[in-house]
Structure 1
Amino acid sequence: MDNSAEELEQPGSRNAQIRFVALAALAGILTGSVGSVFHLLIDWLQAWPRVLATHVDGVVLVAAAALITMCATLVSVYVVRRYAPEAGGSGVQEIEGAMQGLRTVRWQRVLPIKFLTGIVSIASGLVLGREGPTIHIGASFSAAITDFFKVSETERRGMLGAGAAAGLACAFNAPLAAILFIVEETHRQFPYTFRTYMGVIIAAVLATVMTQVIGGTAPDFSMAVASPELYLLPAFVVLGVLLGFLGVSLNAALMWTGSFAARLNGRVPYLYPAVVGLVVGGLFVTMPLAVTGGEHVVTSLAAHSASLQVLLALAVIRYVTMTASYSAGTPGGIFAPILALSMCVGLAFGGIVELVTPHGIPLAFGMAAMGGLFSASVRAPIVGVVLTLELTGAYTMVMPLIVTCMTANMVAEWIGGRPIYDQLLERTLRKAGIDPAAKGEDKTGLA
């Protein structure tokens, strides 16, 4: 812990602790309120293909949907590039960079642009999650609060973590996973003191309260499943191994498509997002399960059985549309798309297990895969376990989830995979011409 953090924790700092927790509470309330409106508007606007289908059909419907999504994508990309390039993508890497003192959260620009273009791009059908924007929005509210109220450097970094936790809690109605995300994912950047840790907790809780008041109290992916038999645990180990390889592959694909899109944009600036928008828009009306963030995909697949061929086809298509959508340059996260992709893979794996044993439960493998692929990609296995439990409400899955997530995380480590946000942050810093070894470690006291 750095000296400033030690000074802030002296016995006489009770009033300062109360003040900081109050600021974190404000960040949580603002994030939960605005984030809930953000989600509700996306859900409402994503009904546009059904409205369009009442006016046109056939080839005209497909062409019209493709053009609508293309236009939405291009508008979002233009606004982001023109006014706030850091608003593109998830935003988690921006917050981690800001906590290290390597990036600046320009909240005056990020808040309106992330909110508006995030709604446009995600509602258009692109395979992007809402959690990335809400995490960035939450941290931006924290940055705004620290600009208005005088705080120390340690408190500033702590407030960024509190806002990020509030954003994730709001996105998934999952406060415990949000708190653990800060503990596990940002352990190198977050300044651990009593007040900053309490700030994260209160921000996440109050953001969840606002989310439940505005949007309801049920877990986002409510599911019920019987506890799998103990003799099936080795099958979850095998699933974890598969997901470990898939997670490393997914991260590599995300980085490669991002580099490819950057090179193509250097030659023809808006060709890549235009093509992505056209393809995704066409799929939105012809194969809706292959696109969108994935929340409705998860619940639909969990409620209605699909054949092995359909599940594998969906997995391949969503793998491609996810990496392509994220590289387009619009705001959007990867958590929800990862959960949808993993549900396809897990259900397919469970269907194969069911052919071998009558006690195989495909849905149990689908739910375990949600945590496993998240763990392999983000490299936060505890968050993967808790997030899946909070989302589904299926606490009968504790043991299979732990086995799957730990296995996926270890396999990803052993084959040389790196956390996706570490890679995204490094790319962001390279583009900005920043050397973290020279500037970041000593400045933030993390050495």
Structure 2
Amino acid sequence: MQLTHSQSKKQNSPDAATRSQIVNTYRSLNHWHSFQFKLFWEGIIVGIFSGLVISLFRFLLTKAEEWRTDLYEQLTQLPNLYTAGWFAALLVIGAVLYKLTIYEPMAGGSGIPQVKGVILGFMRMNWFRVLWVKLAGGVIGLGAGLSLGREGPSIQLGAVTAQGISRFWGRSRMEERYLITSGAGAGLAAAFNAPLAGVIFSLEELHRNFSAVVLLPAMTAALTATFVSRVLFGRGFIFSFYGLPPFPHIHLLYAVAIAVIAGLCGVLFNTGLLNINKFYGLPVFKNLYYKIAFSLLCAGLLGFALPQVLGGGNLLVNELALKTFPLQLLVTLLIGKFLFTLISYGTGVPGGFFLPMLVLGALVGSICAHFLLAFHLIAANHAANVIVIAMAAFFSASVRAPITGTVLISEMTGSFSHLMILGITSAIAYIVAQLCGSQPIYEALLLKNLQSHSTPDPDVVKEERDIVEVPVSSGSIIENKKVKDIPWPDHTLLVDVKRGPDQLVPEGNTIIRAGDFLYVLTKTETADEVRALGSDLRK
């Protein structure tokens, strides 16, 4: 295959492993249709194994949360000595979580920023260590009552499962990125019983473009993982919003107001997550163990005072959908869940904020519904609609993935008659977050991780070479330009151009068109600059 060199002629000689990766990638690009067909079947394999891993995770979490609920019920009836023993046990649990977090830092937190970092080429994961540490740490932390979610960890578990399959098969890094993206989507699909949301999340949030080569394995992986999950757990929805009536069009202004309020709350949530390290920077928190112990002791106290805020919180959402809560209790739950989620996530132990974020959105919606009902602006049977709208808007403002939020909430509640209103409110919340200058939370957390050098051997990662897929947007700076006139970064090679079903051999006079997919060999440290060429608009 003919290669087009960048303006710089300086080239570093790649090592044997890198040369092998490049040769394998060239073969895939030269046999594109068979490569896509192979990814289709590999997606099914990834979906099967990811579905089994996530199902195990869900089962263990369910048992751990049932055990915790029974424990607190019994402790209220037993002498205080047993309660003191439980708090001592929480300190021991903190020590276990501390050891696990120190042993494998890449398994800390939700795992979604790490998955994005791996897909972008900025991070490397030891897939087996991350898998068992995430599994064990997630079950222990959520079982002890920390306000963390299973969905972020499920996404990372699906991703590392796919990475393990890729390593077993000896796939190239380009192919491995596609499989990791598919595994991550399968993890979300199996965790939420939401296959469409898993596919959209893979494309919209992780891969950041709707490439057909990603779509095929992402679909097969998500659908297969959901099938495995449903065989083991049934077809029930995550949230109990049964028989939701259509939201009247005359209430559209109310929906807009709810979206604005939930969007502002999502911005506040992001600000809290990104700045909780300032709280944990106080002198009293001498090391990581003190942070973890503090959060677990808070969980112990809340287990008696406000048990609804412990754990992920999906049961609380179900109660909000079926019961009427006093306003004072709703505000208390919102403040308690908000603060305890920040405290829990700030420790860095395995566990995410995906589900707690939706719970916060549901609480915001419940408070909005309370006022709308008090002023007789909506009928009582539309209160649940307000909760659903607020969840989608809160998610969209925080994650900046409005399509994923719309589809996800629809699948989780089992109501697709609300797609239009959810789409409208998600878009409004997205704009609210943009106007407030809030960053997408997972991108912001990834940037913090990279800046803190918490990734393994960052300098080595930067020196590695990889094939980057660059979709060319309409109006971008390289649209209608000849290859030789494009300002390529140093040490960059244009390897291949895909134009619809056609494959072009790139030459200096080849003109790049909108809709093309470019495959570029470059260093990790210049990969973002190369990707930006396809999306940066002409000034």
- TM-score norm. by structure 1 comes to 0.92
CA contact (8 A) 1:65 1:285 kept: no
In the alignment, the residues of structure 2 paired with residue 373 and residue 59 of structure 1 have an alpha-carbon distance, to the nearest angstrom, of: 41
In the alignment, the residues of structure 1 paired with residue 130 and residue 263 of structure 2 have an alpha-carbon distance, to the nearest angstrom, of: 34
* Matched residue, 1:406: 427
* Matched residue, 1:86: 106
* Matched residue, 2:221: 203
* Matched residue, 1:385: 406
Structure 1 residues 323-359: Cα deviation after superposition (integer angstroms, max 9, x where no partner)? 1101112111111001111111101101101122353
Structure 2 counterparts to residues 138-217 of structure 1, below 5 A: 138-188=158-208, 193-217=211-235
CA contact (8 A) 1:121 1:330 kept: yes
Cα deviation for residue 263 of structure 1 reads 6.3
CA contact (8 A) 1:77 1:328 kept: no
Structure 1 residues 141-187: Cα deviation after superposition (integer angstroms, max 9, x where no partner)? 11111111132332111111001101111110101011111221124
Worse overlay, 334-343 or 179-188: 179-188
**RMSD between aligned alpha carbons?**
2.5
* Matched residue, 1:241: 260
3-state DSSP class of the match of 1:267?
coil
3-state DSSP class of the match of 1:179?
helix
* Matched residue, 2:367: 348
Query: Are 1:108 and 2:192 counterparts?
Result: no
Cα deviation for residue 134 of structure 1 reads 1.0
Which residue type is aligned with residue 137 of structure 1?
Answer: L
Cα deviation for residue 288 of structure 1 reads 1.4
Cα deviation for residue 63 of structure 1 reads 4.2
Residues 377/140 of structure 1: CA separation in 2 closer, same or farther (3 Å cut): same
3-state DSSP class of the match of 2:141?
helix
Structure 2 counterparts to residues 43-442 of structure 1, below 5 A: 43-52=62-71, 53-54=73-74, 56-57=77-78, 59-60=80-81, 63-81=84-102, 83-188=103-208, 193-223=211-241, 224-261=243-280, 267-357=286-376, 359-360=378-379, 361-432=382-453, 434=458, 440=524, 442=526
In the alignment, the residues of structure 2 paired with residue 306 and residue 167 of structure 1 have an alpha-carbon distance, to the nearest angstrom, of: 33
Query: Are 1:21 and 2:36 counterparts?
Result: no
Structure 1 residues 180-229: Cα deviation after superposition (integer angstroms, max 9, x where no partner)? 112211244x6x65333201111111110111011111111131321122
Worse overlay, 51-60 or 28-37: 51-60
In the alignment, the residues of structure 2 paired with residue 60 and residue 80 of structure 1 have an alpha-carbon distance, to the nearest angstrom, of: 30
In the alignment, the residues of structure 2 paired with residue 154 and residue 263 of structure 1 have an alpha-carbon distance, to the nearest angstrom, of: 43
Which residue type is aligned with residue 271 of structure 2?
Answer: A
Residues 237/322 of structure 1: CA separation in 2 closer, same or farther (3 Å cut): same
Which residue type is aligned with residue 383 of structure 2?
Answer: P
In the alignment, the residues of structure 1 paired with residue 462 and residue 426 of structure 2 have an alpha-carbon distance, to the nearest angstrom, of: 31
In the alignment, the residues of structure 1 paired with residue 327 and residue 79 of structure 2 have an alpha-carbon distance, to the nearest angstrom, of: 28
CA contact (8 A) 1:289 1:314 kept: yes
Residues 295/50 of structure 1: CA separation in 2 closer, same or farther (3 Å cut): closer
In the alignment, the residues of structure 1 paired with residue 91 and residue 398 of structure 2 have an alpha-carbon distance, to the nearest angstrom, of: 28
Which residue type is aligned with residue 419 of structure 1?
Answer: P
Which residue type is aligned with residue 118 of structure 1?
Answer: G
Query: Are 1:446 and 2:464 counterparts?
Result: no
CA contact (8 A) 1:371 1:404 kept: yes
Number of residue pairs aligned between Structure 1 and Structure 2: 442
Which residue type is aligned with residue 400 of structure 2?
Answer: R
Structure number, greater radius of gyration: 2
Worse overlay, 69-78 or 372-381: 69-78
3-state DSSP class of the match of 2:294?
helix
Greater share of residues in strand: 2
CA contact (8 A) 2:68 2:145 kept: no
In the alignment, the residues of structure 2 paired with residue 366 and residue 70 of structure 1 have an alpha-carbon distance, to the nearest angstrom, of: 37
Worse overlay, 111-120 or 20-29: 20-29
Identity across the alignment (%): 31
In the alignment, the residues of structure 2 paired with residue 254 and residue 226 of structure 1 have an alpha-carbon distance, to the nearest angstrom, of: 35
3-state DSSP class of the match of 2:255?
helix
Unaligned runs of 5+ in 1: none
In the alignment, the residues of structure 2 paired with residue 326 and residue 20 of structure 1 have an alpha-carbon distance, to the nearest angstrom, of: 35
In the alignment, the residues of structure 1 paired with residue 320 and residue 81 of structure 2 have an alpha-carbon distance, to the nearest angstrom, of: 28
3-state DSSP class of the match of 1:371?
helix
Cα deviation for residue 378 of structure 1 reads 0.4
In the alignment, the residues of structure 1 paired with residue 98 and residue 160 of structure 2 have an alpha-carbon distance, to the nearest angstrom, of: 20
